[in-house]
Amino acid sequence: MYEFRRCSVPGCEATALSNADSCADHHPDPGAMAASVVESFRDVGLIKNLNVAGLRFEGADLSGKRFYSCSFSRTVLRNMTFTGCTFRMCFFDFSLVDSCDFSGIDAQFCSFAGARFLNASFEHSELVHNNFDGVQASYCTFNYTNLYNSRFIMAEFEKTDFIDCNLKRTFIFPTKETDVSWRLSNTQEAIRDLDRIDQ
């Protein structure tokens, strides 16, 4: 894991960003920090133990990178390309994901809880054992994706498709579902009833 150093600003309990003394809210130049983080990704394939929580990223192509134990919590991701990326134990909680391409990713044991997805693609991905609780997804596609053991508790879907997905052991308890297609997906193997939970 990344170091859980506290932000250097007195009274702030947030975890400091990697390679910085403060959190994103108290960093003197978070824009420059985000740019330097993206630049540092240029020649490396494996990114481990990185905390960039709360930073804003826009327009970067990070396809094919492997992220292990990284925190993107509360980040703003706009027009980002993560095609074919691998994520293990990464956190995207409460992030805003706008027009990003996550197609063909392999994400396991990650949390996207409370994230807002707008016009994002997760097509042809392995999304096994991930937390999508409370996500608000609009104009998104999860088509042809393996969602084994992932959770969509109190999620909201609007014009979002789950065509031909593997939903075995997927917990689906949405609070809002508008214009959603589950065509060709094994919805009967999904867990949509609390009585079927055996833990």
Partner 1 sequence: MTVFFHYSVHGSANVYLVGNDATREALIIDPAAFTIGLLDFIEGKGYAVKAVLVTHNHAHHVDGLRTLLRIYDAEVYSSNATLGEIPCRMVQDAEEFTVCGIDVKALSVPGHSADSIVYLFDRLLFTGDVLHAGLIGKTMSQYGNRLLKEQLVKKILSLSDDCMVLPGHGPPSTIGAEKLYNLGWKKTRSELNRDHYDLFI
Contact residues toward partner 1 (CB under 8 A) are: 1, 4, 13-15, 49, 53, 69, 73, 88-89, 91, 93-94, 109-111, 113-114, 129-131, 133-134, 149-151, 153-154, 169, 171, 173, 194, 197, 199
Q: How far is the CB of 79 from partner 1 (least distance, A)?
A: 25
> CA–CA separation, 67 vs 144, rounded Å?
23
Q: List Cα–Cα distances, 19 to 24, 44, 93, 105, in angstroms.
A: 12, 17, 21, 27
Cβ proximity to partner 1: between 46 and 197 the closer is 197
Cβ proximity to partner 1: between 1 and 184 the closer is 1
> CA–CA separation, 113 vs 96, rounded Å?
11
Q: How far is the CB of 59 from partner 1 (least distance, A)?
A: 27
Residues 54, 25 contacting (CB under 8 angstroms): yes
Residues 189, 168 contacting (CB under 8 angstroms): yes
Q: Which residue has the tokens 């990003």?
A: 100
106-108 sheet: strands from edge to edge: 46-48, 66-68, 86-88, 106-108, 126-128
Cβ proximity to partner 1: between 159 and 169 the closer is 169
Q: How far is the CB of 197 from partner 1 (least distance, A)?
A: 7
Cβ proximity to partner 1: between 79 and 149 the closer is 149
Q: How far is the CB of 136 from partner 1 (least distance, A)?
A: 11
Q: How far is the CB of 6 from partner 1 (least distance, A)?
A: 10
